[in-house]
Amino acid sequence: MAALRFGELCVEAGLPAGLVNVVPAGAAGGEALVRHPGIRKIHFTGGDITARRVLAAAAVNLTPVVAELGGKSANVVFEDADLDLAAATSAHQGPLMQSGQSCACASRVLVQDSVYDPFVEKFLATLGSAHVGDPMDPTVSFGPVISQNSADRILAVIEDAVAQNSGELLLGGKRIGGELADGYFIEPTVFGGVDNASTLAQTETFGPVVSLIRFRDEADALRIANDTPYGLNAFVQTRDLTRAHRFARQLEAGSVWINQISLISPQGPYGGYKHSGFGRTGGIDGLHEFSQIKNIRIGMR
């Protein structure tokens, strides 16, 4: 619906006909588009499974591709962090924002041992006070997932994590009933003491499910944060600016946010490392992705 509205706004703004085209289509339409010989560049946003199909189809005509894919972002809470701010930021950037249906979701919250218990208490209290309901209501901070299939998939992830004893289920884990029973509402779900090597911590859930992981010191936090096939975003909660710079430089992530949520700006390049994709959108780097360099050399007498 957002894409259709964007198309309408382009018309209202007076853009020339044909400059922007919004083409609703399923998988067959998408494949036809990326295989078409008239297409000169493809930007794909989505999951790595579909990205492989896009790349295979684009290879027929050697069409260049930019891919912004999934994530399993680490949110690192150091002992010197403002725990109230860290809890609020972690709640929003984790299960609350888009009900976790975001490539930027900070689904791995790494917490230093010395502040683990007080942070968890504040974090769970913040999630417990979230207003659940119709996302068109401006007072609502947590809405449904997108479909029945997504709800079933996310609940299966939770059930599997419980069965594998991936961590202690601290909050949620069920479909919301009552007056919301007919919707695709899943409780904000938090697992504590999660092993970073577990399937829960390594696989993108794309739903309101968060893993809490302990760490000892900065070196331990860096090792855990980078121990993932993904590298889209990372988040750091600390009052130490020197540490923030030092730690951010070593994180394998396309964007690092210090003491804030993922406030993406059009002038900033956005994209990932590793399985989170390649290429960038936004800023001058994003414009360069859609241009080609040409050399013209003239010899004259």
Assess if residue 300 is contained within a domain. Answer: no
Task: Report whether pLDDT(261) > 90.
Answer: yes
- Average pLDDT across the chain, whole number: 96
Structural domain of residue 53, as residue ranges?
2-68+267-289
Q: Are residues 118 and 211 in the same domain?
A: yes
pLDDT band (50, 70, 90) for residue 68 = very high
Q: Based on the domain organization, do 271 and 187 belong to the same domain?
A: no
What is residue 135's predicted lDDT score, i.e. its pLDDT?
87
What number of CA atoms fall less than 13 Å from residue 8's CA on the CB side?
A: 5
Residues 64 and 78 in one domain: no
85 and 47 within one domain:
no
* DSSP letters for 205-270: --SSEEEEEEESSHHHHHHHHH-SSEESEEEEE-S-HHHHHHHHHHS--SEEEESS-----TTS-B
The number of angstroms, rounded, from the C-alpha of 104 to the middle of its chain's C-alpha atoms is: 2
The answer to the question of residue 51 being in a domain is yes
Q: Is the overall model pTM greater than 0.85, yes or no?
A: yes
- CA-nearest of 293, 284, 292 to 41 is 292
CA dihedral for 282, 246, 237, 199, sign (positive or negative):
positive
Look up residue 213 and give its two tokens.
């992981």
CATH number at residue 240: 3.40.309.10
pLDDT of residue 301: 87
pLDDT digits (tens, 9 = 90+) for 31-59: 999 999 999 999 999 998 999 999 999 99
Domain count, the chain: 2
CA-closest candidate to residue 76, choices 231, 267, 251:
251
Phi, psi for residue 42 in degrees, rounded to 5: -125, 130
Residue 29 domain flag: yes
Convert the pLDDT of each residue in 171-212 to its tens digit. Answer: 999 999 999 999 999 999 999 999 999 999 999 999 999 999
Secondary structure (3-state) at 87: helix
pLDDT at 1: 86
* Rounded alpha-carbon distances, angstroms, from residue 172 to 52, 158, 201: 34, 10, 17
Residue 162 is assigned to a structural domain of this protein:
yes
Across the range 158-177, mean pLDDT stands at: 96
125 lies in the same domain as 231 = yes
Is residue 134, in this structure, part of any structural domain at all? yes
Summarize the confidence of residues 79-88 as an average pLDDT. Answer: 98
CA–CA–CA angle 179, 159, 233 (5° rounding) = 90
Decide if 49 is inside a domain.
Answer: yes
